[in-house]
Amino acid sequence: MARELQEVYVVDGCRTAFGKARPNGAFAQTRADDMVVKIIRSLLDRNPGVPRDKIDDNIWAASTQWGDQGLTIGRTTAILSGLPVTTPGCAVDRMCAGGATSTCFGASEIQVGAADLIVAGGVEHMGNHPMGQGADPNPRFLAEKLVDQSALNMGMTAENLHDMYPDITQAQCDEYSIISQQKAKKALDEGKFGNVIVPMTVWSGNGWSVADKDEQPRPEATLESMKDLRYPFRVKGRVTPGNSSGLNDGAAGVLLASEKAVKEYGLEPKMRLVQYAFAAVKPEIMGLGPVPATQKVLERAGMKFEDLDVIELNEAFAVQAIVFMQEFGMKLLDDPKLNPWGGAIAFGHPLASSGCRLVAQLAYYFAEHPEAKYGLATMCVGLGQGAAMIFENVQN
Ligand SMILES: CC(C)(COP(=O)(O)OP(=O)(O)OC[C@H]1O[C@@H](n2cnc3c(N)ncnc32)[C@H](O)[C@@H]1OP(=O)(O)O)[C@@H](O)C(=O)NCCC(=O)NCCS
């Protein structure tokens, strides 16, 4: 029997603060699954109209699905968060776009009528799970030259992108990074993240404390302070700790609902999902991924780039953000449409969580900007992919 596709709404989105993935980081002694539980409970506490026994799936992404991120984290955290034991859950992985993928897969469950209420999210405790932990790439990748060795190191792929776009200089990347830091500082100072960041009580060697602030931002960064930073990825390179996203611990999630659930439970959705798309490029230049993903999602939505009022682009590296701006004719290096509240160079990038960080940030940006109708959330992905989602602001 043919059935119509259902509309999908984002009811809410939030994240933990993003800590530094190091022994003295805010979440160093906190489990990844407990961070997920915090987000699930926050989403449901903030939206009391949602019956807990009606969550149709709890979909969580992590790049490393092992230890405190293993054992099908969507199911473990459904139980740990106190959802009824009848709540199913699953785990997905698309590296940095894990949270974006859990959001899109949850949306598709709703679209085809398999679900009405979904919790989706992503987590990465990079302190517990350094990038690529336990991975065992098939030797054929290198032996048969399927990829260059640099494809397996994200910083090296950013250096490759510099080679491909020789006009983009380190000075531009540093300047772009300072702009991102300044935008984030302004938004944080103005209290824009009050609803986005959920405070979490955490244990450290010195007792309990509340983690409610990102540890990565460097609002004091200047061209002068960045000029002597090391090049971790290539001798005499252009990519530095100052113009890269960091290594972080964090979780982010969203609550999705069908139109039927919105009406039945009296929910106040923030955005409607218009379209999503994934695309891929050569792994050696993975930072280019958002370009074809954005072209594809626009084409599938029947929209033009100019129709977008705001773009949340995950800044894995400044060079990759500048390439995106250049390819779509945006105003270099500071376009008011791009990351108006700052990006990952300031906040950090706990891999699989970042897709939902973008969605939550967009939802609350929309709340303050009823004049903004359409927004894009997009990101690059290790091994050469791009993810893109278009949302419509329904808060006006
Ligand atoms: C670039 C990278 C290797 C740096 O790691 P790190 O050395 O642990 O980073 P830190 O934050 O300690 O910065 C290193 C130094 O630069 C300094 N620094 C960083 N940014 C700075 C800035 N904007 N201004 C001034 N100093 C800065 C730090 O203070 C630190 O100095 P110190 O060594 O004297 O303490 C790491 O962040 C990284 O790998 N990033 C990319 C992550 C990634 O690939 N994600 C996936 C994307 S697809």
Mutate to test the pocket of ligand 1, among 226, 239, 244, 351 (most ligand atoms within 8 A of CB): 244
Residue 210 to residue 212: CA distance in whole angstroms: 6
3-class DSSP assignment, residue 242: helix
The residues that are catalytic are 96, 349, 380
Cβ of 70 less than 6 Å from ligand 1: no
Cβ of 24 less than 6 Å from ligand 1: no
Cβ of 106 less than 6 Å from ligand 1: no
Residue 16, H or E segment: strand 8-16
**Tens-place pLDDT, residues 350-359:** 999 999 999 9
Please give the DSSP secondary-structure letter assigned to residue 1. -
Residue 343 to residue 143: CA distance in whole angstroms: 37
Domain boundaries defined on the chain = 8-128+246-390
**Environment class of 315 (CB within 10 Å of its CB; exposed 0-12, middle 13-18, buried 19+):** buried
Q: What is the pLDDT along the chain (396 residues), one digit of tens a residue?
A: 778 999 999 999 999 999 999 999 999 999 999 999 999 999 999 999 999 999 999 999 999 999 999 999 999 999 999 999 999 999 999 999 999 999 999 999 999 999 999 999 999 999 999 999 999 999 999 999 999 999 999 999 999 999 999 999 999 999 999 999 999 999 999 999 999 999 999 999 889 999 999 999 999 999 999 999 999 999 999 999 999 999 999 999 999 999 999 999 999 999 999 999 999 999 999 999 999 999 999 999 999 999 999 999 999 999 999 999 999 999 999 999 999 999 999 999 999 999 999 999 999 999 999 999 999 999 999 999 999 999 999 997
Helix then strand then coil, % of the chain, to nearest 5: 40, 20, 40
- For ligand 1, atom 43: residue with the closest CA: 154
Closest by CA position to 3, among listed 136, 113, 78: 113
- For ligand 1, atom 16: residue with the closest CA: 241
* The model's pTM: 0.99
Residue 49 to residue 72: CA distance in whole angstroms: 27
Residue 276 to residue 250: CA distance in whole angstroms: 24
Cβ of 98 less than 6 Å from ligand 1: no
Mutate to test the pocket of ligand 1, among 24, 161, 234, 247 (most ligand atoms within 8 A of CB): 247
Residue 85 to residue 361: CA distance in whole angstroms: 31
- For ligand 1, atom 30: residue with the closest CA: 241
Cβ of 244 less than 6 Å from ligand 1: yes
Task: Please give the angle made by the CA atoms of 242, 244 and 245, to the nearest 5 degrees.
Answer: 115
- For ligand 1, atom 5: residue with the closest CA: 241
Residue 391 to residue 394: CA distance in whole angstroms: 9
Give pLDDT, residue 275.
98
CA of 154, closest atom in ligand 1: 44
Cβ of 382 less than 6 Å from ligand 1: yes
How distant, in Å, are the alpha carbons of 93, 132, 236 from that of 65?
8, 11, 35
How distant, in Å, are the alpha carbons of 30, 190, 195, 198, 203 from that of 210?
12, 20, 16, 10, 9
3-class DSSP assignment, residue 45: helix
Closest by CA position to 87, among listed 110, 107, 57: 57
Question: Per CATH, is 8-128+246-390 categorized as 3.90.1150.10?
Answer: no
What count of residues does the chain have? Answer: 396
